[in-house]
């Protein structure tokens, strides 16, 4: 049984930023279920939003973030995020990260949906995530033990409910326990719960479920962002076509070449994502095709090397200038509720990155605010931990209970397709109720030790799907990433309400309450 001062689950940008900023005398274990570079962060094409332009300022970035989030963001959290954004960019540059610049030397600033200024910083054109990850990985010191292919399936908590370690499973079936007084969840969102997604294959809601099963409170789980433009080949999703492409002038059209966003929103093709995604979805449902016309963009392949590679490897003739697109799940705004330092409601347990709900995104995340959030909150949590004294763990890992239980679970495909159909871009009370009943017809076992990694993944996706569905059923309005056709408008009485979820310990079911919590 290995021990450390800090255990970090996940290896995306938030985790790497935390690692790079932690004191070097702290012993750190990083556990990742795949390889270090298999993360959404590594795939990120969009950049980092920051008011670093001469005619920009954090207050405008704040206003755009609040507008995209439809006003239910936590004001203070957004103010702090947008104020700290420029310093995060400068720290990256000082740390040797090569960000895109004009020939004269100043940073190149791109535009994305719902931003009122050019304020997106990129690296390698559309390879920003990869560039930042590579740079942060260089800062991993000898105090950090990275363990790949370790699927964490349980958080260990003592009688007081404090988290003191984790239990993980290796593909060969070996179960290991790792102990630490501080455990950080940094293993991303849950895009794979949906049939159409931009997310890496590994992003299946594990962190959300680990926190939930350990008693942490979750919030805003109904707010799921669907990215408007994923490459769609013969009805199959192949990857992301960055919004930066529309920022450079690409236009969404129908098969006849008629622009579909004209007259829908004043920002046209760069309207907030939920509006563009809903418009495309409507069009596709009526049997049409939606194309991204890139013919107005000079030097496309040089500006967007990753998008070009993706399209060419999927047989798209780039010289025709039309990319077939469809929307798909991209980002979860809700998640495990945390305070400004990343503390969850469980002592000893922290969450950063997409699975954390810090209050900054509200009902819909502004483009390129997610890498930013990971960088800001990774650094903040490091500062918080660095200021604390080392702690000793008194508890021991409990015995592994190998129980040979037959478990019936739906297939991953069944979960993904039913979520897309009933809890996707357009939701109805009936669809949501049907989905909840179906998901709850599969009981969640108490003891997870005997399950295989495949069964654990299915189970975690099932629980994540239920958390989203429960919240979506409870919010009786439409707002940002949550659209209900039976309540198609924002309702003022919901403006300050949040759906909170936690596990009902006695009955093992989801307990939900509607509240107006103050994020701190």
Judged by the rule CB under 6 A, the positions of this chain that interact with ligand SIN are 45-46, 242-244, 330, 367-368, 370
What span, in angstroms and rounded, lies between the C-alpha atoms of 25 and 265?
A: 53
How near is the Cβ of 126 to ligand SIN at its closest, in Å?
A: 7
Token pair, residue 425, equals 């871009």
Q: Quick one: 4 or 292, whose CB is closer to ligand SIN?
A: 292
How near is the Cβ of 262 to ligand SIN at its closest, in Å?
A: 21
Helix (H, G, I), strand (E, B) or coil at 85: helix
What span, in angstroms and rounded, lies between the C-alpha atoms of 100 and 219?
A: 36
How near is the Cβ of 486 to ligand SIN at its closest, in Å?
A: 28
Give helix 453-474 / helix 412-422 axis angle, nearest 10°.
10
292, 208 Cβ separation under 8 angstroms: no
117, 51 Cβ separation under 8 angstroms: yes
Q: Quick one: 154 or 225, whose CB is closer to ligand SIN?
A: 225
What span, in angstroms and rounded, lies between the C-alpha atoms of 115 and 355?
A: 24
Helix (H, G, I), strand (E, B) or coil at 509: strand
Give me the active site residues, please.
273
What span, in angstroms and rounded, lies between the C-alpha atoms of 185 and 11?
A: 10
Nearest Cα residue to 479 out of 181, 4, 71: 71
Q: Quick one: 84 or 370, whose CB is closer to ligand SIN?
A: 370
501, 511 Cβ separation under 8 angstroms: yes
Closest-by-Cβ residue to ligand SIN is: 46
What span, in angstroms and rounded, lies between the C-alpha atoms of 244 and 368?
A: 10
Q: Quick one: 45 or 204, whose CB is closer to ligand SIN?
A: 45
Q: Quick one: 202 or 368, whose CB is closer to ligand SIN?
A: 368
How near is the Cβ of 255 to ligand SIN at its closest, in Å?
A: 23
Contacts of 256 (CB under 8 A, 6+ apart): none
What is the 3 state secondary structure string of 147-196?
A: ECCCEEEEEEECCCCCEEEEEEECCCCCEEEEECCEEEECCCCCHHHCCC
How near is the Cβ of 354 to ligand SIN at its closest, in Å?
A: 10
Q: Quick one: 208 or 244, whose CB is closer to ligand SIN?
A: 244
Q: Quick one: 370 or 435, whose CB is closer to ligand SIN?
A: 370
How near is the Cβ of 33 to ligand SIN at its closest, in Å?
A: 23
Q: Quick one: 246 or 503, whose CB is closer to ligand SIN?
A: 246
Q: How far apart are the first and last CA of the chain?
A: 35
What is the 3 state secondary structure string of 330-396?
A: EEECCEEECCCCCECCCCCEEECCCCEECCCCCCCCCCCCHHHHHHHHHHHHHHHHHCCCCCCCCCC
How near is the Cβ of 332 to ligand SIN at its closest, in Å?
A: 12
What span, in angstroms and rounded, lies between the C-alpha atoms of 440 and 504?
A: 14
How near is the Cβ of 45 to ligand SIN at its closest, in Å?
A: 4
| Buried b / exposed e along 12-38 (16+ C-beta atoms within 10 A) | bbbbbbbbbbbeeebbbbbbbbeebbb
């Amino acid at each position: 049984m290995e021990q450390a001062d800090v255990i970090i689950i996940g290896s995306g940008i938030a985790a790497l930023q935390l690692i790079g900023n932690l004191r070097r005398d702290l012993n750190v274990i990083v556990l990742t279920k795949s390889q270090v570079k298999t993360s959404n962060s590594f795939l990120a094409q969009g950049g980092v939003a920051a008011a670093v332009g001469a005619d920009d300022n954090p207050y405008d970035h704040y206003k755009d973030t609040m507008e995209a989030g439809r006003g239910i963001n936590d004001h203070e959290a957004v103010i702090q995020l947008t104020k700290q954004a420029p310093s995060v960019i400068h720290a990256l540059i000082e740390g040797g990260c090569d960000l895109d610049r004009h020939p004269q030397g100043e940073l190149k600033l791109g535009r994305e949906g719902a931003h009122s200024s050019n304020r997106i910083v990129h690296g390698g054109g559309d390879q920003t995530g990869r560039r930042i990850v590579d740079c942060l990985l260089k800062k991993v010191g000898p105090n950090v033990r990275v363990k790949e292919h370790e699927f964490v399936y349980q958080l260990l908590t003592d009688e007081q409910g404090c988290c003191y370690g984790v239990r993980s499973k290796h593909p060969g079936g070996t179960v290991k326990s790792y102990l630490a007084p501080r455990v950080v969840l940094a293993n991303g969102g849950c895009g794979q719960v949906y049939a159409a997604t931009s997310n890496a294959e590994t992003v299946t809601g594990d962190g959300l479920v680990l926190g939930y099963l350990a008693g942490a409170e979750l919030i805003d789980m109904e707010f799921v962002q669907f990215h408007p433009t994923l490459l769609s080949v013969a009805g199959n999703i192949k990857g992301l076509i960055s919004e930066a492409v529309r920022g450079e002038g690409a236009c969404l059209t129908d098969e006849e070449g008629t622009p579909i966003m004209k007259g829908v929103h004043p920002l046209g093709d760069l309207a907030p994502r939920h509006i563009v995604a809903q418009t495309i979805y409507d069009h596709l449902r009526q049997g049409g095709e939606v194309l991204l016309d890139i013919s107005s963009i000079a030097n496309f392949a040089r500006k967007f090397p990753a998008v070009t590679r993706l399209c060419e490897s999927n047989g798209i003739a780039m010289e025709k200038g039309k990319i077939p697109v469809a929307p798909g799940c991209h980002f979860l705004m809700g998640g495990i509720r945390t305070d400004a330092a990343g503390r969850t409601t469980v002592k000893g347990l922290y969450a950063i990155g997409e699975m954390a709900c810090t209050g900054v995104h509200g009902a819909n995340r502004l483009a390129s605010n997610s890498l930013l959030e990971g960088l800001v909150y990774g650094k903040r949590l490091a500062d918080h931990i660095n200021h604390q004294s080392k702690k000793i763990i008194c508890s021991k890992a409990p015995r592994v209970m190998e129980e040979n239980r037959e478990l019936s679970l739906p297939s991953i495909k069944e979960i993904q397709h039913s979520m897309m159909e009933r809890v996707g871009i357009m939701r109805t009370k009936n669809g949501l109720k049907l989905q909840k009943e179906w998901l709850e017809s599969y009981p969640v076992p108490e003891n997870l030790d005997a399950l295989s990694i495949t069964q654990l993944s299915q189970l975690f996706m099932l629980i994540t799907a239920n958390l989203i569905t429960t919240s979506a059923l409870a919010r009786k309005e439409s707002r940002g990433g949550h659209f209900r056709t039976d309540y198609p408008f924002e309702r003022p009485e919901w403006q300050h309400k949040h759906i909170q979820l936690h596990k009902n310990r006695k009955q093992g079911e989801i307990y939900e309450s509607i509240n107006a919590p103050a994020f701190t």
